[in-house]
Amino acid sequence: MKRLVNSDTLLGGFFALAAVILLRNSYHSSSNVFLLPGDAPPFLVAQLALYAALALSLAILIKGILRGGVQIGETRWGPACLMVLLLVVTVLLFQAAGYLLIVPLAVLLCCLILGYRKPVPLIGLAMGVPVATYLLLVKFAALPLPTIPGLEF
């Protein structure tokens, strides 16, 4: 058993479990929605993303099992606790402040916590990732995201 415990098996198992739970909830929620013949299921895009996340998680888990025996380094609890706190605050402020205000700030703080210090890639990530996901979700998939209060576009 000790041989199977490494960072890949822990992360792969955790994210695979999270993906399975979210998939189950998405199917349960979508069963309560009335659909006309020919309509796409309401959570189709989210379910496809969750299937992709599940496949990647299982690949990481299998890699960890096959690799085996590699010791996990000493955990730095400070950054880990800061990341959890950042995620909790982001979720709490997400609806009130809007996606395009909270997510760039959260990505920037996440990069700083993880130790990225080069300003050009840091600002590129903080602006590029949220804008790209916003365009993908809102403009192409027509999924609503919280907007900045008083600013509609």
Digit-coded pLDDT (tens) for 61-71: 898 888 876 56
pLDDT in tens, 83-97: 888 888 888 888 888
The predicted model scores a pTM of 0.56
Three-class secondary structure assignment of the chain: CHHHCCHHHHHHHHHHHHHHHHHHHHHHHHCCCCCCCCCCCCCHHHHHHHHHHHHHHHHHHHHHHHHCCCCCCCCCHHHHHHHHHHHHHHHHHHHHHCHHHHHHHHHHHHHHHHCCCCHHHHHHHHHHHHHHHHHHHHHHCCCCCCCCCCCCC
Q: What is the mean pLDDT of residues 34-62?
A: 82
Lowest mean pLDDT among 49-63, 81-95, 134-148: 134-148
Q: pLDDT value at position 72?
A: 58
